[in-house]
Amino acid sequence: MALAISDSLLNMVDDYFVYLDKFLEACPEDLWAETFANWPISQYFWHVLWINDRFLPGPYLTNPAGATDDAALFKTKIASVSKAEVTKLWSAQKTKTVDFVKSLTEASLYQRNENVFKIIGLEWVNVFSVIKLHSHAFYHLGTFDAALRSKGLAGIY
């Protein structure tokens, strides 16, 4: 059973990374730095990257220049974060995420995700955490798609 669930989770991980990668490729530098729906696009992306990183075990990534934990949690607003630096960090997240899913056993799929508990105090099991990362990424992908279309650019869907 664990294999079927892990395979499904890996498909979900691939799904959201494909679309987030599409956005990074399609997003021009001027839009990357622009505020859309009250926050800079780069800050939304930093938020998605930060959450993905923090929900998984292992060493956390180093915040890029201008990006802080408070900015990732929308407690403060930032001017912009380097798209090149964020893209590089984002690429590393796919490996971290895939490795995490592949490490899950039938028993550990249903164990509490200690990272989520530590950060937001919720009792999410590992399998649900990956599902939430997927839904969280797609929630923000809607913002990214709308921002592209507001500039007359092709969306990512």
User: Mean per-residue pLDDT for 82-108?
Assistant: 90
Mean pLDDT for the stretch of residues 10-27 = 93
* % of the chain beyond a pLDDT of 70: 99
Q: Say whether pLDDT at 2 is over 70.
A: no
Domains located in the chain, CATH noted: 2-150 (1.20.120.450)
Using an 8 Å Cβ cutoff, are 96 and 56 in contact? yes
Q: Quick one: pLDDT at residue 63?
A: 85
Euclidean distance between CA atoms 84 and 108, whole angstroms: 35
| pTM for this prediction | 0.89
| Confidence tier at 88 by pLDDT (50, 70, 90) | confident
Compute CA distances 90 → 1, 5, 18, 152, whole Å. 30, 24, 11, 26
Answer whether 45's CB lies under 8 Å from 88's CB. no
> Which pLDDT score is estimated for 64?
84
